[in-house]
Structure 1
Amino acid sequence: MSLSLFACSASLATGVSLIALALTGAASAQERAVTLDTLSVEGSGSGVGTGGGNGRRGPETARGPVDGYVATRSATATKTDTPIIRTPQSISVVGAEQIKAQGSQTLSEAVRYTPGIYANQFGPDTRLDWFLIRGFSATESGLFRDGLQLFQTSFANFRIDPFGAERIEVLRGPAATLFGGSPVGGLVNIVSKRPTFEPLHYLELGGGSFSQRYAAFDLGGPADESGHWFYRLTGRFQNGDAQVNFAPEDRYYIAPSFTYKPDGATTFTVLTSFQRDETGGAGQFLPYFGTVRNNASGFRIDRKLNASDPIVDRYTRNQANLGYEFEHHIDDVWTVRQNFRYSFTEVTDKRYVANGYMDASQTTLARYGFQTTPRAGIFTVDNQAEARFSDGYFGHTLLMGVDYKRYSLSDTQASTFPVPSLNILFPRYYQSAAAPTPYRVINQQLQQVGLYAQDQIALTERLTFLIGGRQDFVDNNVDDKLNPLNSTTISESAFTGRLGLIYNFDNGLAPYVTYGTSFNPTAGVLASNVPAKSGKGDQIEVGAKFQPAGWNTLFTVAAFDLVRENVLTSTIQDPFVNVQLGKVRSRGFEASAVATLAEGLNLTASYTIYGLRTIEGAATGDLSVGNVPVGIPENLASLWADYTIPVGDFKGFGFGGGVNYVGRSYADLSNTLTVPDYVTFDASVHYDYAGWRAAVNVLNIGDRRFVSSCSSPTACFYGTQRKVVASVSYKW
């Protein structure tokens, strides 16, 4: 389908919807209510959470708590509060209860039982979370918080503590029609905890492997007697070490928020968070021979080896988010919203980086020094108008919006060649080197304006048609301080669209088909300090969702075919420098099940298989053409079950366990070096009594030694070692 035809179709559909809206008076109130009920039942997605300290919850909303493991609604795929069973695209929701049961302390850990996504690609990195969705990186531009984007580029990273998340939603496939920038493979949207209507008091203490200790609290409820003001204060403070020597892993996170509801039609919620991270170079760049395979001397490198040096190794980050969500119901048809946030991060990252062996026996690592001190801020505002109405024939959920984002980056990167080598058998630390010399000093500003429209049309009570279109305008300016002649401004514009059709049978089966295009402006620069081209792509997806009547269960299957252009990847010579490939294609199949099978028994399972191939290289003779891109497994499977005894003498006692399978990947462009597949097991034991909860969670219980991936033959990354965390909490 050509873009011009897509644009014409979307414009025509929007025009017809607006005409229908103008004629809503022809439809009776009864017709309107019946039709709208097929699109959305209860809840408007207001900012106030429905959870309370007494355990009572109202109907689920798209931004509220998930009751158990099975979410029924989401706003990530459509920006409207829509039942998942009526959404014609793949989406998975991990609620706070599942995060807690699995003992997840990072976003990467929280999504490890979700289909289509591979997290911790570079091992348990203490700096940020890495995500591959349907074979493509979603780390740089696929991280969203409360529906607003957080760019991660040039080491100016954001990290979100999952303790502050009400739910984590993984949308697979293009979403640019609504968000104006996201990878074609999908995105991760974290929905923050919000003020609650009822009093909430929660305290938790814990600790475990690698000398970890932490304290967390979650407080909320009404702030006045009139019932107009509500608050929430969430925080978590952690002190400990990483799984490699000499690397701390300390975090200080606090998130105050409040809601003002002057009446039943208006909600104004302020969401803030502040976080400081202090850690080191836990992500090691180690050679293939010595990690995946034995080296020339016949052994493998110790997983705890720090290839950097404590004399220089340091990573600190200060980040802050300040924003609000405003929503007002004008009448039974119209609702307007404005979502705003300013996010800021500043990072200091210093280390020595391993760069392969320098001797025939492969016992000594060559190293170079690296230092970066980026600062970044992103200002985002999204204005929406939503109309739910019937034109007498069809029901409509019409969404129109305009959004604006401005990303500002100040980036300085420096290096030193060489620095003292490191013997992996007898490492000697506290070796100094010359001060790094800057090779990149740039200021970048990316501005984007987008206009979008979407209509979810109930053609019948069972058949829903979704159509959307968006026009974006982007200016990307790079000011090169070292080489002013390289300063560049790129202006781009693009139209993206999405079509979807889903049919809901009475028995709970809902087959669907969807097609979408993607346009993804890319922050950061390439090796020549020029802006990267915007990523583009398209996808067709055919699938089905099944929610049997009377079951608290959701089954999903999906087959997809997507192509992405201008894929960013690091170079073999320098893992910190990006180049852009031509085109990569991903075809595959996903299946998942999330269920509460009986009282106290929860289960989640997933399976993913896809074929990933580079179909067009960055240059003539590119070795990657026809092969699988490095570091990306094409098979994933997982199963987790948790049971709590509901009655009897052992009431409140529970246990859980999980298994994760990750298929093989490659360490080189020619696909001659294979990283083997691996299986890990998790376990949990817990006891709940009168508001108290004691739990022990173990990740990789067998302490399986494995390599998560390699981005080149000299850059491989060990996976998570056995990690035990014990906790005690009290809720009242």
Structure 2
Amino acid sequence: MEVGRTRTGALRALILAGTSLAALTAAQAQEATPRTGASVQLDEISVESRGAGGVTGPVSAIVSGLPRAGVEDPKGPVPGYVASRSTTATKTNTPLIETPQSITVIGQQQLRDQNAQTLTQATQYVAGAYAGTFGADTRIDYLTLRGFVVSDYGIYRDGLQLLNYGFGYFKIDTFGLERIEILRGPASVLFGAGSPGGIVNTVSKRPTEYPFGYVELGGGSFGQTYGAFDIGGPADKEGHWFYRLTGYGRRGGTQVDGAPDDSVYIAPALTYKPDGATHFTLLSSYQHDNTAVTANFLPYLGTVRPNLSGLRIPRSLNLGDAGFNTFTRDQAFVGYEFEHVFDDTFAFRQNLRYAFNQSAQNADIGQLGYSDAAQTRLARYQFLTSTKVNLFQVDNQLEARFSDGFFRHDVLLGLDYKNYQLHDNQGTNFSAGYSVPDISILNPAYGPATGRPLPYLVNANSFQQLGVYLQDQIKLSDRLTLVLGGRTDFADNRVNDKLYTTGSNGRSDTGITYRTALIYNFDYGLAPYVSYSTSFQPLIGTDINNQTFKPETGTQIEGGVKFEPPGQGYFLTLAGFDIHRKNVLTANPANVIFQAQLGEVRSTGFEAQLVASLTDGLNAIASYTIYGLTNERGSADILGKVPVNIPENFASLFLDYTIQTGELRGFGFGGGVRYVGRSFADTANTLRVPDYVLFDAQVHYDWDRWRLAVNATNIADKRFVSSCQSSFSCFYGDARRVLASLSYKW
């Protein structure tokens, strides 16, 4: 029952910005950086990079299974803040400056400097992204890209999708990640699924060729304490086996009274390399979370504005009784990545994973408004859910790099399959025929549960998808690249209603998606590009009439410029986009328990992202995003309006500086500022959620193998509402959070 969740001016601004940038940088023309050819070089080198938790050492740069001179490993550490390569946008090892799509890569050093413990915290300085839509929610990382939700179908782990439907949420522990890659715009041609706003691909830590160790202890706000470790290296003398073991544990509270936020994470990984052409990595992890419903569903009056009594509801109010406001989750991943390079032309890869998730929630929820005229008491209902997820996926890829005599090609042929099984049980006190006492916002009184909810939904959902895709990256010249891609998907969605047998049904769908893009690389690092792509997303679940949903479809045109002057240590991306999304799910106005496909939404805008690792220890991140988001089709009350709970304008700046010489060498400090524009709390756009500005800060000191750091977010402890889903469902954002940490590496 708990519900989850001017155009030409923007493009003109993009063209003007690109023209100005070209004019300003033309004088900086330099020799072209070495270009990647069709053949694979076999000479092995070491790249000095920062590993997990600040560990520094030689990291072998693996390209198509073989070491390659002077090339960053696209699944390995990011040198400083500025990545140069990624596999997310093309599924091949392609330089970002040659990728005709907007993408941001977050590496371990940035995660460490910000002490970002969740995916929400890690993406708060990313262009196009709005993290924390539902405020201080410890159950799930809720994200949007370019105005569209990506936390349901758009979160990936090592290139394979994490389906988050209903309450079967998968949660990402950032300590287990090497990098986070945010790809903006449709990615269905390669992945077969995902929001047209983009996808977030999280890349796991992998075994290293050098031995290392790292431990960290920390704690701070709300009584939180945590410990972490990360060890790895060669497992034999011959250099064929390598291992890594990563662990993290946290205990403590949250800004909501009596709500815990406990978590345990362990991730063993093993790599086998029998020769220079074959590479097999086993990736596994287990995670247990114990928390509560902290994203209180509160009324607009009393949060955004004072209520009729002139009061605001405390951020710390626990709407559920402390004894049974619970949410627990156990999840496990086990899979592998296999790669074999046959020769200079052909390489084969197979990525396979099985994922399991079991969660349960029992809590009193708001979402009903006030129960008295003075607006001092909140009505509540009890919500109970039990969910089990089994997800199997495999992605097979054959890559061929060759020349046809006129052009160079990088051809990727793929076949992938996913099988998703969901057992979804949901119940309320309404179904059981009893009421839940209301609660005072001034003097809350808690007691035992009034009763046990009865189910209104008991479903066994089955979803399968088979996709065939083909992509060709064609070098029309040394500087001009044409990317062509196409895909066909076969999807089958079945719902077995075990509560009302007449409600069982299903559907099968076929979807065709494609992408075409051009990018031109100047010698001095300027790269204008343009692309057109489509998306196809089968939807899980049923509407109020127990009918399965039609697949979502979308189209996007994107144009932009990238600028990475050789040797300067920064990367700038400017992008303009126009997205049309059809068959969009929204809350059913007749009954908010269910969703409905009511129309089409359009997002048109501009975004800018700068990432820099400059000389003398200075790192910087800056971003700006503005777009127009409107309902193009649908019921009369939403037509032409902005969808609820999504801001359309935000900007951020983050700096970190470490003194390099003198008596204060190793001492560093910095901070950030985040601006989020207004959003709306109702479909008629009459209730406005105001914009807000937040400040973050950090200090740290490195000496020998030790590091001491203190991080603070929202240092002014500003009380703000991150968004409202309706006039009865508003969400407080994160209160001030201060964490101190001490780490040691060897």
Q: Same fold (TM over 0.5)?
A: yes
SS, match of residue 202 in structure 1: strand
What corresponds to 1:395 in structure 2?
408
1:464-518 per-position Cα deviation (integer Å, ceiling 9, x unaligned): 0000000000110000111111111100001000000000011110000000000
Match of 1:113, as an amino acid?
Answer: Y
Match of 1:712 among 712, 723, 726: 726
Pair 1:43–1:370, CA change in 2 (3 A): farther
Matched, 1:385 2:412: no
- 8 Å contact 1:51–1:197 — kept in the other structure? no
- 8 Å contact 1:181–1:520 — kept in the other structure? yes
Pair 1:319–1:551, CA change in 2 (3 A): same
What corresponds to 1:247 in structure 2?
259
SS, match of residue 357 in structure 1: coil
**TM superposition score normalised by structure 1:** 0.93
Match of 2:490 among 473, 483, 506: 473
> How far does residue 318 in structure 1 lie from its aligned partner after superposition?
0.3
> How far does residue 390 in structure 1 lie from its aligned partner after superposition?
1.2
What corresponds to 2:18 in structure 1?
none
Pair 1:576–1:346, CA change in 2 (3 A): farther
Give distance in 2, aligned partners of 1:144 and 1:131.
13
Match of 1:97, as an amino acid?
Answer: Q
Pair 1:717–1:41, CA change in 2 (3 A): farther
- 8 Å contact 1:38–1:458 — kept in the other structure? no
SS, match of residue 101 in structure 1: helix
Structure 2 residues not aligned, in runs of 5+: 1-33, 61-70
- 8 Å contact 2:59–2:209 — kept in the other structure? no
SS, match of residue 574 in structure 2: strand
> How far does residue 246 in structure 1 lie from its aligned partner after superposition?
1.1
Pair 1:705–1:567, CA change in 2 (3 A): same
Pair 1:416–1:428, CA change in 2 (3 A): same
Give distance in 1, aligned partners of 2:625 and 2:145.
11
> How far does residue 576 in structure 1 lie from its aligned partner after superposition?
4.9
What corresponds to 2:659 in structure 1?
645
Match of 2:572, as an amino acid?
Answer: F
> How far does residue 41 in structure 1 lie from its aligned partner after superposition?
9.0
Give distance in 2, aligned partners of 1:303 and 1:574.
28
SS, match of residue 704 in structure 1: coil
Give distance in 2, aligned partners of 1:370 and 1:335.
51
What corresponds to 1:233 in structure 2?
245
Pair 1:54–1:88, CA change in 2 (3 A): closer
Give distance in 2, aligned partners of 1:88 and 1:715.
39
> How far does residue 710 in structure 1 lie from its aligned partner after superposition?
0.3
Give distance in 2, aligned partners of 1:43 and 1:245.
58
Match of 2:385, as an amino acid?
Answer: T
1:566-604 per-position Cα deviation (integer Å, ceiling 9, x unaligned): 222334676553222310000000001001222210000
Matched, 1:144 2:166: no
SS, match of residue 373 in structure 1: strand
Structure 1 residues not aligned, in runs of 5+: 1-33
- 8 Å contact 1:39–1:86 — kept in the other structure? no
What corresponds to 1:310 in structure 2?
322
Give distance in 2, aligned partners of 1:91 and 1:207.
33
Match of 2:641, as an amino acid?
Answer: N
What corresponds to 1:523 in structure 2?
540
- 8 Å contact 1:39–1:82 — kept in the other structure? no
What corresponds to 2:740 in structure 1?
726
What corresponds to 2:603 in structure 1?
586
> How far does residue 51 in structure 1 lie from its aligned partner after superposition?
4.5
Match of 1:643, as an amino acid?
Answer: Y
Matched, 1:556 2:573: yes
What corresponds to 2:631 in structure 1?
614
Pair 1:227–1:40, CA change in 2 (3 A): closer
SS, match of residue 221 in structure 1: strand
SS, match of residue 437 in structure 2: strand
Counterpart mapping for 1:463-502 below 5 A: 463-502=480-519
Match of 1:680 among 687, 691, 694: 694
Pair 1:659–1:107, CA change in 2 (3 A): same
Matched, 1:633 2:647: yes
Give distance in 1, aligned partners of 2:454 and 2:217.
44
Identity %: 55
Match of 1:137, as an amino acid?
Answer: V
Matched, 1:665 2:667: no
Give distance in 2, aligned partners of 1:340 and 1:258.
15
Counterpart mapping for 1:410-559 below 5 A: 410-417=423-430, 418-559=435-576
1:343-397 per-position Cα deviation (integer Å, ceiling 9, x unaligned): 0100011111112111111111111110000101110000000011111211111
Match of 1:61 among 64, 73, 80: 73
> How far does residue 526 in structure 1 lie from its aligned partner after superposition?
2.7
> How far does residue 410 in structure 1 lie from its aligned partner after superposition?
0.4
- 8 Å contact 1:477–1:490 — kept in the other structure? yes
Matched, 1:211 2:223: yes
What corresponds to 2:97 in structure 1?
85
SS, match of residue 194 in structure 2: coil
Give distance in 2, aligned partners of 1:653 and 1:288.
44
Match of 1:223, as an amino acid?
Answer: A
SS, match of residue 163 in structure 1: helix
Give distance in 2, aligned partners of 1:304 and 1:468.
50
> How far does residue 154 in structure 1 lie from its aligned partner after superposition?
1.2
Matched, 1:567 2:584: yes
- 8 Å contact 2:362–2:384 — kept in the other structure? yes
Give distance in 2, aligned partners of 1:420 and 1:363.
14
- 8 Å contact 2:564–2:572 — kept in the other structure? yes
Pair 1:41–1:164, CA change in 2 (3 A): farther
- 8 Å contact 1:151–1:523 — kept in the other structure? no
> How far does residue 524 in structure 1 lie from its aligned partner after superposition?
2.8
What corresponds to 2:383 in structure 1?
370
Counterpart mapping for 1:102-117 below 5 A: 102-117=114-129
What corresponds to 2:15 in structure 1?
none
What corresponds to 1:10 in structure 2?
none
Give distance in 2, aligned partners of 1:310 and 1:79.
47
Match of 1:164 among 176, 195, 199: 176
1:41-72 per-position Cα deviation (integer Å, ceiling 9, x unaligned): 9999xxxx994855334541111110000000
Give distance in 2, aligned partners of 1:259 and 1:297.
63
Give distance in 2, aligned partners of 1:512 and 1:393.
22
Give distance in 2, aligned partners of 1:616 and 1:246.
44
Match of 2:289, as an amino acid?
Answer: D
Match of 2:369, as an amino acid?
Answer: G
Give distance in 2, aligned partners of 1:703 and 1:50.
33
> How far does residue 528 in structure 1 lie from its aligned partner after superposition?
3.3
- Name the Cα RMSD after superposition: 2.0
Give distance in 2, aligned partners of 1:723 and 1:38.
49
How many residues of Structure 1 are paired with residues of Structure 2 in the alignment? 696
Pair 1:168–1:575, CA change in 2 (3 A): farther
- 8 Å contact 1:43–1:60 — kept in the other structure? no
- 8 Å contact 1:172–1:185 — kept in the other structure? yes
What corresponds to 1:30 in structure 2?
none
Match of 1:374, as an amino acid?
Answer: T
**TM superposition score normalised by structure 2:** 0.91
- 8 Å contact 1:40–1:82 — kept in the other structure? no
- 8 Å contact 1:516–1:539 — kept in the other structure? yes
